[in-house]
């Protein structure tokens, strides 16, 4: 049944691509059309290669961005209520390794020079798509503010208003060279359910998703550049399945490529994916009022409820979990001699000279 849904979703997207479908009717009452885009990667300049041409960097980034925004627009034509793109929609994250390269237009470090201010032309373009289709849009970009760069996911409402942003809080070491981490975990209210965003490496920290669940998030988008599935299907993305089932939330991972994108239910069921499809839209209809109840009369009688989400929450014991917030737990003593390259520009320059290749 799941694969029938997947093929139907891809078929609808293909119709939109060929002009055979102008619009799709709204989801049935009580249901929300949740979409993610599945886009292939695009060529980019590689500063490690002899043919590197800094004058082509911006044009190639723009071409990739145009493709992704086209897919977001297509999701709107399909009647999506909300859509999310992959991490780093500008396709510039790979330049973050090159702290020794300058932007020919701004003179800044190349990566930093390509991050954008919000509001600005890019955010206005995204807002226009949201407004055009009366659709929420989650757009992960590298954003610049007061001289600092953030890995931000911008959230636009149906009127095209920017209602908030999530700034990635836990960064891979290479990303810390030029990106400032965010400091909070925001849950955004929509007209169908509270949503949240975890970006890339944040998925490896279960505390983050638990915070979102406790704050009432029902749907968590996961824009990323690191895949969790092993053989194409999200059925093998064990970390995703665990996050969804542990926190009783819908989870929607989004990554560049031809798999690894889709929507997972609070029971760990893959509701929609499109393995092998290129540059398409994946969509599922979700009833966020649905309660996942045990069918066992015995379970209901013993517990006093058959609502597993309620049982899970009411059985928590946060008063004895203080160690989770301990800044110096005993484990820290094992790593006292470790010196990461974060904040050490000399070590970063040396690292780039030594590896001489991209990740």
Domain boundaries, the chain: 2-294
Architecture of domain 2-294: 4-Layer Sandwich (3.60)
Q: Is 69 exposed, middle or buried (0-12, 13-18, 19+ CB in 10 A)?
A: buried
Closest C-alpha among 350, 349, 343 to residue 181: 343
Question: Where does 45-109 have alpha helices with state H?
Answer: 57-77
What's the start-to-end Cα distance of the chain, in Å?
38
Token pair for 49: 């290669």
Question: Where does the chain have alpha helices with state H?
Answer: 2-18, 57-77, 110-114, 121-133, 173-176, 206-214, 238-247, 297-303, 308-314, 345-355
Under 8 Å between Cβ of 36 and 254: yes
pLDDT of residue 27: 58
Residues 131-166, buried b or exposed e (16+ Cβ, 10 A)? Answer: bebebbbbbbbbbbeeeebbbbbbbbbbebebeebb
Digitized pLDDT (tens) for each residue of the chain, 359 residues in all: 444 445 444 444 443 443 333 334 455 668 999 999 999 999 999 888 889 998 999 999 999 999 999 999 999 999 999 999 999 999 999 999 999 899 888 899 999 999 999 999 999 999 999 999 999 999 999 999 999 999 999 999 999 999 999 999 999 999 999 999 999 999 999 999 999 999 999 999 999 999 999 999 999 999 999 989 987 999 999 999 999 999 999 999 999 999 999 999 999 999 999 999 999 999 999 999 999 899 999 999 999 999 999 999 999 999 999 999 999 999 999 999 999 999 999 999 999 988 877 66
What global pTM score does this model have? 0.90
- According to DSSP, the β-strands at 32-38 and 280-286 are antiparallel
């Amino acid at each position: 049944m799941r694969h029938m849904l997947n093929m139907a979703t891809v078929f609808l997207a293909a119709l939109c691509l060929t002009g055979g479908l102008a619009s799709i009717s709204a989801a049935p009452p009580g249901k929300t059309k949740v979409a993610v885009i599945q886009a292939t990667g695009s060529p980019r300049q590689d500063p490690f290669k002899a043919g590197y041409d800094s004058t082509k960097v911006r044009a190639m980034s723009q071409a990739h961005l145009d493709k992704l925004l086209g897919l977001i627009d297509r999701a709107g034509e399909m009647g999506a209520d909300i859509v999310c793109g992959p991490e780093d929609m500008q396709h510039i994250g790979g330049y973050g390794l090159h702290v020794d390269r300058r932007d020919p237009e701004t003179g800044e470090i190349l990566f930093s020079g390509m991050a954008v201010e919000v509001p600005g032309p890019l955010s206005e373009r995204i807002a226009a798509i949201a407004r055009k289709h009366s659709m929420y849009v989650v757009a992960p970009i590298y954003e610049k503010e007061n001289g600092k760069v953030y890995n931000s996911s911008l959230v636009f409402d149906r009127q095209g208003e920017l209602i908030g942003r999530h700034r990635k809080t836990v960064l891979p070491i290479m990303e810390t060279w030029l990106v400032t981490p965010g400091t909070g975990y925001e849950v955004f209210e929509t007209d169908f359910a509270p949503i949240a965003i975890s970006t890339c490496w944040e998925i490896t920290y279960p505390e983050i998703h638990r915070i979102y669940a406790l704050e009432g998030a029902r749907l968590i988008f996961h824009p990323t550049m690191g895949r969790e599935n092993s053989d194409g299907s999200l059925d093998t993305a064990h970390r995703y399945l665990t996050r969804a089932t542990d926190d009783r939330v819908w989870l929607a991972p989004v990554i560049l490529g031809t798999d690894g994108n889709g929507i997972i239910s609070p029971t760990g069921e893959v509701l929609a994916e499109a393995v092998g499809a290129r540059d398409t839209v994946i969509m599922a209809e979700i009833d966020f009022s649905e309660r996942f109840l045990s069918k066992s009369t015995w379970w209901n009688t013993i517990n006093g409820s058959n609502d597993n989400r309620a049982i899970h929450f009411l059985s928590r014991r946060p008063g004895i979990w203080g160690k989770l917030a301990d800044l110096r737990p005993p484990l820290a003593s094992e790593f006292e001699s470790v010196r990461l390259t974060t904040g050490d520009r000399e070590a970063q320059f040396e690292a780039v000279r030594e590896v001489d290749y991209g990740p």
